[in-house]
């Protein structure tokens, strides 16, 4: 149903994203439908996507290829009040993995910077303590150098993995009256299934177009006639 997965998003594509002024877009799940059924997004444009469940039952969202072909900066799930309703007894489920985008206002990056700063302060304290200790033998120094090389290698691997930066969505399950909010930029064109409850007919399609190649139909017809 989902077809072939999109090509992986590269670090260069992520680094070139302009996150300013995301456009609001809402997809609503109601009984037996997804509204709008086929929204169109523009390639490389930032969006603040809201997915609302107005149905009577909890719904799991499946849009695997769309999410994999986009960079998602952040995600949250919240309850919204509707006509005096109360929160549903079921809790929303949002499985996602965070890793820093490198943006100054990105909470994951801020947390990482804080941890790095604390580690740096601790390292300075250790160096100060080391200066007061007696000189070490050549054998002990060789063992420490080998150990430090292993730690540095792991730190480099972790840093490389963090460069691309975004949120990887694993699962979104929304009880009635809940919404998921995602700030994202689609980086792959195509038609992507958006699936809620198939037994309720909640099946839609998200289209991502490249503005450089998209043709406005009325204009295209007019050009063909002339």
Number of H-type helices and E-type strands within the chain: 5, 11
Within 10 angstroms of residue 141's Cβ, the number of other Cβ atoms is: 11
Start-end of CATH 2.60.40.420 domains in the chain: 11-101+165-225
Q: What is the pLDDT of residue 110?
A: 62
Q: What is the pLDDT of residue 51?
A: 93
What b/e sequence results for 122-138 when a residue is b if at least 16 CB atoms lie within 10 Å of its CB, and e otherwise? Answer: eeeeeeeeeeeeeeeee
Q: Which of 1, 15, 18 is nearest to 205 (CA)?
A: 1
HSE-CB for 145 with a 13 A CA cutoff:
7
What b/e sequence results for 180-197 when a residue is b if at least 16 CB atoms lie within 10 Å of its CB, and e otherwise? Answer: bebbbbbbbbbebbbbbb
Q: What is the pLDDT of residue 47?
A: 97
pLDDT tens-digit readout, 194-220: 999 988 889 999 999 999 986 655 555
Instruction: Domain 11-101+165-225: give its CATH architecture.
Output: Sandwich (2.60)
Q: What is the pLDDT of residue 39?
A: 97
Q: What is the pLDDT of residue 147?
A: 44
| Burial class of residue 211, CB neighbours in 10 A (0-12, 13-18, 19+) | exposed
The stretches in the chain having pLDDT less than 70 are 1-3, 80-113, 116, 126-166, 170, 214-226
Q: What is the pLDDT of residue 138?
A: 59
CA separation for the pair 88, 61 (Å, rounded): 18
Q: What is the pLDDT of residue 140?
A: 58
User: Six-digit token pair at 77?
Assistant: 């799930």
pTM over 0.85, yes/no: no
Within 10 angstroms of residue 159's Cβ, the number of other Cβ atoms is: 12
As a residue count, the chain comes to 226
């Amino acid at each position: 149903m989902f077809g072939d997965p999109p090509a992986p998003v590269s670090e260069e594509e992520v680094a070139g994203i302009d996150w300013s002024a995301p456009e609001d877009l809402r997809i609503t799940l109601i009984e037996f439908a997804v509204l709008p059924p086929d929204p169109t997004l523009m390639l490389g444009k930032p969006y603040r996507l809201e997915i609302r469940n107005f149905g009577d039952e909890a719904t799991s969202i499946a849009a695997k290829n769309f999410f994999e072909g986009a960079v998602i900066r952040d995600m949250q799930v919240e309850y919204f009040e509707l006509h005096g309703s109360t929160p549903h007894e079921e809790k929303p489920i949002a499985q996602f993995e965070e890793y820093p985008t490198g943006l100054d206002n990105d909470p994951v990056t801020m947390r990482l910077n804080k941890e790095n700063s604390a580690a740096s302060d601790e390292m300075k304290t250790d160096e100060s303590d080391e200066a007061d200790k007696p000189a070490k033998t050549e054998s002990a120094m060789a063992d420490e150098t080998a150990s430090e090389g292993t730690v540095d290698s792991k730190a480099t691997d972790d840093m490389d993995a963090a460069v691309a930066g975004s949120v990887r969505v694993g699962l979104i399950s929304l009880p009635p009256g809940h919404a998921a909010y995602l700030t994202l930029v689609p980086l792959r064109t195509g038609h992507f299934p958006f699936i809620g409850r198939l037994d309720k007919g909640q099946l839609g399609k998200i289209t991502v177009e490249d503005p450089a190649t998209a043709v406005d139909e009325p204009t295209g017809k007019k050009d063909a006639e002339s």
